[in-house]
């Protein structure tokens, strides 16, 4: 498994992952029918996180398929810019294998850096 930061060219793969995750759990923010079919929102979010020093991590299997992700959206306000909104998701088929732990460990390292 590989943990890495998302880039704009990942948008299509991320959309596929998000749609699959939406079908597997009610714990994500959107219902499956609310998810847009356009990659533009994802591309914009990746750019926005990069500009604001946020983070979008992807967990990929050996085939390059996204199996988990974690985002940190930092506050835009100077006084609380050290705070972030964290969202994490892991596909049902690969849960309980430490993927979430690895995503959070990578986030911790990013925060320390």
Going from the C-alpha of 98 to that of each of 29, 47, 67, the distances in angstroms are 23, 28, 12
DSSP letter at 76 equals S
On whether the pTM is more than 0.85, the answer is: yes
pLDDT tens digit sequence for 29-65: 777 778 788 889 999 999 999 888 899 999 999 999 9
Q: Are 98 and 67 in contact (CB under 8 A)?
A: no
In order of their start, the domains of the chain are: 11-112 (3.40.630.30)
pLDDT tens digit sequence for 64-81: 999 999 999 988 888 998
Q: Average pLDDT, whole number, for the chain?
A: 91
């Amino acid at each position: 498994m590989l943990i890495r930061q998302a880039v704009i060219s990942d948008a299509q793969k991320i959309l596929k992952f998000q749609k699959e995750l939406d079908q597997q759990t009610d714990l994500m923010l959107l219902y499956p029918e609310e998810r847009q079919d356009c990659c533009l929102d994802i591309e914009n979010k990746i750019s926005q996180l990069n500009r604001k020093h946020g983070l979008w991590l992807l967990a990929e299997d050996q085939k390059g398929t996204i199996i988990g992700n974690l985002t940190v959206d930092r506050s835009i306000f100077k006084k609380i810019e050290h705070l972030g909104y964290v969202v994490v998701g892991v596909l049902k088929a690969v849960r309980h294998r430490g993927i979430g732990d690895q995503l959070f460990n990578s986030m911790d390292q990013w925060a320390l850096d």
